[in-house]
Amino acid sequence: MTLIQKLREKCNLHRQHVKQGESSYQGKHGQCEDGNDYEKHVQRVEYRHQGKHGENEEREHYKKHVHHGKGCNHNHHHHNAKVTILLYMVSVLSYSVAKFVPLPEMLQNALYLFSTVFGGYHVIQEGIGLSVSQSMLSKKFTPNTHLLMTLAAIGSIGIGEFEEAALLILIFAGAHFLEEYAENKSRQEMSALLAMKPTQARLILQDDSVALVDVKQVKMGDTLQVLNGDQIAIDGVIIEGNGYINEASINGESVPKEKSIGDEVFASTINEQGSFKMNVTKTAEDTVFAKIIQLVKQAQNNTTKTAAKIKQFEPIYVKWALIFVVVFFIGASVILGIKESSYKSLIMLVALSPCALAASAIPATLSALSNLAKRGVLLKGGSYLSDVAELKAIAFDKTGTLTKGMPVVTNTYFTQEGKQFIPLIVGMEKQANHPLAKAILRHFSHEQGQSVSVDNRIGEGLVTVVEQQEYRIGKRLLHDVISDEVEKKAKEWELSGQTVVYFSKNSQIIGLIAMMDLPSKASKRVIAYFNRRNIQTIMITGDTKTTGQSIAKQLGVKEVLANVMPEDKAKLISIKQAKIGKIAMVGDGVNDAPALVSADVGIAMGDGTDIAIDVSDAVLMHNDLSKLVYLHKIARRLNRIVWQNIVFSMLVVASLVIMNVFNISSIAFSVIGHEGSTLLVILNGLRLLIPIKNSVF
């Protein structure tokens, strides 16, 4: 498959996912702006009511689809959760009566048996039922961890240890309720996003009346009304009024931003003060928030490589555990006899259960994804976190990524005569639509500008004639005569990476204006962070080597690849991969898309083009490059925590096995050790929900 085919396939796949990502909610609302406007108040109440209905519906839909068996495949809370918990409580009571009330042995055993069957029926169902169904589906024996516990309980009953069987099941089932509660903490931030997607909008009709409509009916170009306290329904631009917008849902910043005419506003954000009218610029499917939702949904189903390996390893491990227990029983029965060896084999079944191992990665990964999403870093899957943690190099596009993407005037020089012509320069540049012309106009914004007509010579500059005098502004080739002093100044600026525009009168250069696309505030600190960690920093640019090296020197970038054509970026990324190892590409434009696909991790700037965001693996919202550092720190932290969990869970298994061999264990002790370690592993993963303080640099 060619690079372009891969690019198109990835784009099409993402668009299909976005189309499927429709959900509903309309969030918090405030009081009526006009206390006497009863009709508006009624609309707002309806707006709120319909939104909450959509929220609940979508949240339930989400739970059904993503809250499937993680860790130890415990999915017993899907259906009849209340019945399950009620039976568990009754079973605990039954066990307590049998344990502490003097009863005939037969009645005691009956109560223990009741506790075993009804307190852990979901464990037995998943242990036997799920193993059978998965084995039939895969056409090979595919056991799960619950099967080990189920066999241990059945075996205990078989040798007459009814109390041990009941205790095993009750501890195991009770611990899983706690584990599931803890694991759900890692999903709350994800599912909370679905509770913020708008469903209703206030559409201004042709007769200036306002109608409450489904957000899917809103089209680009429509005008919407947003009142105080409303959630903004769709992306657009303010055309009348102003407001203070809380944009925490898309960038994690809870401090409201003042927005007025001409400013962009985004779906799901909250207008905390003021009211305004806005022009719709995107459809409901293409809003920034809709893309966030889709990325989060993708991330849920794409876990880390370690988690995927653990999931593949679990049935293999369980098979070998069963074989080991059989061999252990045969060997022990020769020395200890049938009954004692049977009991110790049941302890071994419990001790070898890999529940903690299975829970080592997924809760931690979901916690990391939640933490990142809340702070404006969106990934299309947890698998990319593994790659980020192992990066050997990061390549940055220059314009719009390391720089602001907007040239500014950095230096000016005029002869004594030339200073008087600044109004003329402004008048000339007003006739152009070039980024450099806009930079000049911003710099001389205090000048009114002289009204002139110009000859726009594409690729060269502008020419005008005023009072029989010819004036030119543009590239050096547009002018004929230059003094040594002016030429020296121009070369000095050009060598420092600045773009120089020349102004002349009758071909005699009498002014210079130097401009540069300056580095963004965060760029230098971001580059320094990666340099300190021996991750090679590379800048890829289509600019000249002089300009590229000038920016690289300011930022501390280790390597510059200049004069690079868009179609060559992907090739250079592949070459670097072969030489260095895993590499990330950070970019924002259409020309970066092939390189984003070729890199191990493609990272798009959030204000970049749709194609760059579509093909990337991660998105940094609002063009904040400092979020790249946060992403790297969380990825490394996830890597450490997952390995801590793996090592800890295997040490617990080994310890329980050794204790059993030396006759210092019991079924109850093994269950407590097993379930305690699983709970600790999940809680350790939940630490990734905690934001990293002073994390940026």
Any idea which residues carry the catalytic annotation? 397
Tokens of 194: 């679905």
CA–CA gap between residue 520 and residue 399 (Å, rounded): 10
Counted residue by residue, the chain has a size of 697
**SS3 assignment for 341-359:** HHHHHHHHHHHCCCHHHHC
Q: Are 272 and 246 in contact (CB under 8 A)?
A: yes
CA–CA gap between residue 526 and residue 560 (Å, rounded): 16
Q: Are 561 and 579 in contact (CB under 8 A)?
A: no
- Give the DSSP H or E segment for 546: helix 545-555
Tokens of 380: 């299309």
Is the backbone of residue 56 left (phi > 0), alpha (psi -120 to 50) or beta? alpha
Structure-token match 């259906």, residue found: 79
Sign of CA dihedral 566, 567, 572, 578: positive
DSSP 127-181: IIIIHHHHHHHHTS----HHHHHHHHHHHHHHTT-HHHHHHHHHHHHHHHHHHHH
N-terminal to C-terminal alpha carbon distance within the chain: 40
Q: Are 522 and 626 in contact (CB under 8 A)?
A: yes
Q: Which of helix, strand or coil describes residue 477?
A: helix
Structure-token match 């029926």, residue found: 121
Q: Are 569 and 586 in contact (CB under 8 A)?
A: no
- Rg of the Cα atoms in the chain: 33
Burial (Cβ within 10 Å: 0-12, 13-18, ≥19) of residue 694:
exposed
Query: Could you give the C-alpha distances from 203 to 213, 225, 232, in angstroms and in order?
Result: 7, 6, 12
CA 356 to chain centre: 26
What 456-459 contacts at long range (C-beta under 8 Å, 24+ apart), as own/partner pairs, is 456/431, 456/432
Structure-token match 């985004």, residue found: 266
Buried b (16+ CB within 10 A) or exposed e, 351-373: bbbbbbbbbbbbbbbbbbbbbbb
Q: How many CB atoms lie within 10 A of CB 440?
A: 27
Q: Which of helix, strand or coil describes residue 485?
A: helix
Nearest to 345 by CA among 673, 670, 677: 670
Buried b (16+ CB within 10 A) or exposed e, 614-644: bbbbbbbbbbbbbbbbbbbbbbbbbbebbeb
**CB within 8 Å of 258: residues ≥ 6 apart:** 242, 243, 244
